[in-house]
Structure 1
Amino acid sequence: MTSAAEAAPSHPLHGRIDTAELRLEWAEAPWDTAVFGHPVVQVSRIEARTGASAADLAPFVAACEVGGVGLASCRLPHDRLRESMLLEEVGFRFIEMVFQPEFGDLQSAGPRDAQGLVVERARPEDLEEIVEVAGGAFRNERFHVDPRLPSRLGDLRYQNWVRSSLEHPSQRLHAVREGAELVAFFVTEQLADGTCYWHLNAVVPQRQGRGYGLRAWRAMMNQARLEGATRVRTSIVARNHRVLNLYARLGFSFPAPSMTFHRVRVA
């Protein structure tokens, strides 16, 4: 084990603390740095042991100051209260509770048809329409609800994500259509364990409240089944109660949630 004094990283945007009281690892999120115009880091691991205090986080706090970090984020299991209190002592604030609903028996119990819709890989000519939808689709998400962050940059973040997914090596951008009209889009990824992970999804505004969500989600579950997935998993914030009810109606199960925290540098 190193001491807290020895734990200061050589590069402020990634590093680790490993002491008798605390283990913490962080790294830059370059895609968010590009959007926000200042360094953004993610705490990927934190384990606080008996006796841990805010002083044990001093190397991380110092690295954020040296590196000009404007936003640091951390996601924790819902029952990690020791760690959450420690983060709050150095300026982190609770932002959201996140669920990862899962449909675990896709091949035998999943939907068997496309609900009268067509699911296809998005084409370059589809991109701008989907990007426009993405720009207004995620207002319940953490980059929008944190009042210290510009909401327009949250929109840009998801628009950039959609653009990059069109030719991403592992993610896929799907368009869900009724006839020639776009109904919804999904950004998905097939994982090695047989999971089809849904990163992003949204119904176009003019189709909302008309039952298209249920049909599009079932169509995408059927698509995942046809592509060989054994389960579907996604991530959704607790405040998005309408979509939580949609997943419950579809038969998804809800494992224990996680908590998201932000530390924002105030100019």
Structure 2
Amino acid sequence: MKKVEPLNPEAFATYVPLLQAYPFKPYAHYGRRVGEEALQQLFLARVQASIKSSAHSALWVPGSDGAQGLAVWTPLAWDSQQLGVGAGRLEYLIASGDYKNQYATKEVLLRAVLKTCADQGIQHFTARVHASDLSTVHLLEQYGFITVDGILTFSLDIMDVHWPSPPAGLEIRLSRPEDIEPIKAIARSSYVCGRFHSDPCIPKTVADELHAAWLENSCLGKVADAVVVAAENSRILGYVTCKIDRQTAEYFGLTIGTIVLVATAADARGRGVARAITYGALNWFRDQGVQIVEVGTQLRNIPASRLYESCGFRLVASHLSLRKWIGVSDLQ
């Protein structure tokens, strides 16, 4: 009988072999470029930081030769505020062995996680899982999680690439305080494919306002390092939010940035605005010393995938976003 215990941050060395063997580490698609050792060190640092943080909760399943599995999750204060219910995210669900053994260990962990989440007041519980992590995907489905999103991740090495100037009359620049309200207005009407809009338990108005608040926080520098906008005659036509992962420079010897959110005003689409802002964001990243830029888009957002491919990005990874309303039926 597998036993679940609270994870002890001071015994981190016990969990290291399990974590080192985990195949779905962040940035694993750069393994040939940066090396497996660098991937492991970054991953270990992130997991260790998570389990030491009071904002996270963690459990593990001990075995005769170390850890058989572990789970880490986080209550999400901002999401809870936006959704009006307790929200949380499963950060890691990892187990050793073949598919059957992984599934059994993860099942014991997931039961304990869901029970603890209910005790913590978490109802809206999400997970983003690598598309090849089949034991986790199948287990979450079995326990009432539904798929609300599929994410394709594209990557571009920007060091030796040059992009054309924006169309005449289109100004590409960083956002200003007076841009926040026009940006929020675009955000309210742009994200029909995302996980919040795809969730049958979240009203469209709530999802719209969530994205507006997300963009305001991005412009204020709370969740983004920069917001690049396209303006025409002082009117904001679109934006790109940018985030730099500074840890990658320390562990990989190269810096990776991410395009997080992109949107264009409805009446400005089809004019090359999204492409021009994307190029502007790539220029900003390069000015910050970033070597690689990633961008994710929804599996069903075909126009966005075509845009990124035409800008030189290539597909490197895919993930699924799943969600469970703990104690609440999706049909209610």
For normalisation by structure 1, the TM-score amounts to 0.88
Shift, 1:238, TM fit: 0.6
CA contact (8 A) 2:155 2:294 kept: yes
Secondary structure (helix, strand or coil) at the match of 2:315 reads: coil
Give the number of the structure whose residues are more often helix, by fraction.
Answer: 2
Structure 1 residues 138 and 160, CA gap change in structure 2 (3 angstroms) = same
Partner of 1:110: 162
Shift, 1:253, TM fit: 0.8
Partner of 1:43: 90
Residue 147 of structure 2 is aligned to residue 128 of structure 1:
no
Aligned length: 262
Shift, 1:152, TM fit: 1.8
CA contact (8 A) 2:259 2:295 kept: yes
Q: How far apart, in 1, do the equivalents of 2:105 and 2:290 lie?
A: 43
For normalisation by structure 2, the TM-score amounts to 0.72
Q: List aligned pairs for 1:174-213, cutoff 5 A.
A: 174-192=228-246, 193=249, 194-213=255-274
Q: Deviations over 1:7-57 (max 9, x none)?
A: 499xxx842121045311101121101101121111110113413363442
Partner of 2:219: 166
Q: How far apart, in 2, do the equivalents of 1:243 and 1:195 lie?
A: 21
Identity %: 20
Partner of 2:137: 84
CA contact (8 A) 1:54 1:89 kept: no
Structure 1 residues 48 and 119, CA gap change in structure 2 (3 angstroms) = same
Q: Deviations over 1:206-227 (max 9, x none)?
A: 1012332223322332333344
Secondary structure (helix, strand or coil) at the match of 2:304 reads: helix
Q: How far apart, in 2, do the equivalents of 1:41 and 1:66 lie?
A: 12
Residue 146 of structure 2 is aligned to residue 93 of structure 1:
yes
Secondary structure (helix, strand or coil) at the match of 1:146 reads: coil
CA contact (8 A) 2:230 2:273 kept: no
Computed over aligned residues only, the root mean square deviation of the Cα atoms, in angstroms, reads 2.4
Segment drifting more, 207-216 vs 142-151: 207-216
CA contact (8 A) 2:238 2:277 kept: yes
Q: Which runs of 5+ in 2 are unaligned?
A: 9-54, 250-254
Q: Deviations over 1:126-157 (max 9, x none)?
A: 11111111111111001101212222222122
Shift, 1:124, TM fit: 1.5
Secondary structure (helix, strand or coil) at the match of 2:88 reads: strand
Structure 1 residues 114 and 225, CA gap change in structure 2 (3 angstroms) = farther
Segment drifting more, 80-89 vs 131-140: 80-89
Secondary structure (helix, strand or coil) at the match of 1:176 reads: strand
Q: How far apart, in 2, do the equivalents of 1:222 and 1:16 lie?
A: 40
Shift, 1:69, TM fit: 1.3
Shift, 1:159, TM fit: 0.9
Partner of 1:233: 294
CA contact (8 A) 1:46 1:83 kept: yes
- Supply the AA of the counterpart residue of 2:229: A
Residue of structure 2 aligned with 1:218, choices 270, 279, 285: 279
Q: How far apart, in 2, do the equivalents of 1:63 and 1:46 lie?
A: 15
CA contact (8 A) 1:115 1:219 kept: no
Residue 319 of structure 2 is aligned to residue 258 of structure 1:
yes
Partner of 2:122: 69
Q: Which runs of 5+ in 1 are unaligned?
A: none
Partner of 2:195: 142
Structure 1 residues 246 and 53, CA gap change in structure 2 (3 angstroms) = closer
- Supply the AA of the counterpart residue of 1:110: H
Structure 1 residues 190 and 114, CA gap change in structure 2 (3 angstroms) = farther
